[in-house]
Amino acid sequence: MNVQQRVEILVQLGAYISAQDPQWEDAKRRAEQFNHWFTPAFTSMAANSIATAFLQKEKLEQWVAHYHVDDNLQPKTVGIIMAGNIPLVGFHDFLCVLISGHKQVCKLSSKDDILLKHLVEKMIEWNPSIANHVRFDTMLKDCDAYIATGSNNSARYFDYYFGRYPSVIRRNRTSVAVLTGNETTEQLSLLADDVMTYFGLGCRNVTQIYTPADYDFVPLLAALKKYSWMFDHHKYRNNYDYQLAIYLMNNKYYMTNDCIVLVENSNPFSPIGTLHYSFYENLSELTAQLKTNDQIQAIVGANGLAFGQAQQPSLMDYADGVDVMEFLLGL
């Protein structure tokens, strides 16, 4: 397959996702049965974001042109270890390797091993040569390079096994928001999306907010209330109840709207059902600190992304700030 054919089949894939084909709807239902965090609404949100932000012909062609991708590349085999915290979280790595012209072997997370397999099966139906470029396996052996996403703990093992090969190894990351107290009701509603989408499980979810010392939390708590339906989701509710019990037993000051608990904590990583907050004095100093913190994936609000944009990455938004296309084309 040449690069133009790869672009065309990806565009076809985007149209398939957007068309809500019965086979795709069935795959989403099976994914939820296997992993209850993958609700149909959130799986559709993730897939539709991929279709609109990644799989549009003009965007793909501009992306390809930016890197001068051509058909002269000597194909290598790239092993990809994918995470499974939110639906199709490894799709961008899959896309990068496919569009570059390399071959890939994907090790899917046990939490998300239905959706991407289904999409690749459809692509093989449309063009059988895709099978020569993509395959799935539980063991990644004899690859020329590796892309691995996991926790800080698993990253140590990735370093041990893959360190002697060209590799991109990702660790824990999360996102934060910086508030000034002048946010509108609409902006706070969009911030609620940044916090609560995918139950807060993604690295682009806001898990920590920074506010002035005199910040009024009441409007924010009201905005977050739009996700009160999550209380009907047993896994989320169990996490919320557990965290709330810990704060009560430890006599820890907290705020809640019966949807999420807000607790003062300097750790940017907050548990499911909890949002951490910290106070700042100097906005410029805070911004400089956050931009050099390698645990931060995205900054929303003051001096950062617009509210509501945390879960809307473009083709040029690479996890951990590592340009995967540049890595692949340099193999």
- pLDDT of 43 reads 97
How far is it, in rounded angstroms, from Cα 95 to Cα 323? 13
Q: Where in the chain is the domain with CATH 3.40.309.10?
A: 174-301
Per-residue pLDDT for the chain (331 aa), expressed as one digit of tens each?
A: 899 999 999 999 999 999 989 999 999 999 999 999 999 999 999 999 999 999 999 999 999 999 999 999 999 999 999 999 999 999 999 999 999 999 999 999 999 999 999 999 999 999 999 999 999 999 998 999 999 998 888 888 899 889 899 999 999 999 999 999 999 999 999 999 999 999 999 999 999 999 999 999 999 999 999 999 999 999 999 999 999 999 999 999 999 998 999 999 999 999 999 999 999 999 999 999 999 999 999 999 998 999 999 999 999 999 888 999 999 999 9
Question: Quick one: pLDDT at residue 160?
Answer: 86
Q: Residue 33 burial (CB < 10 Å; 0-12/13-18/19+)?
A: exposed
Pairing of strands 174-178, 206-212: parallel
| CA-closest candidate to residue 228, choices 263, 203, 204, 192 | 192
So what's the pLDDT on residue 155?
A: 87
Q: What is the pLDDT of residue 79?
A: 97
Name the residue with tokens 């900054």. Answer: 299
Residues 289 and 281: their CA atoms lie apart, in Å, by 13
- Collapse the DSSP code of 291 into the 3-class scheme (helix H, G, I; strand E, B; otherwise coil) and give the result: helix
Q: Where in the chain is the domain with CATH 3.40.605.10?
A: 3-172
Structure tokens at 178: 């910086």
CATH topology of domain 174-301: Aldehyde Dehydrogenase; Chain A, domain 2 (3.40.309)
Per DSSP, 305 falls in state B
CB 84 within 8 A of CB 111: yes
**Topology given in CATH for the domain delimited by 3-172:** Aldehyde Dehydrogenase; Chain A, domain 1 (3.40.605)
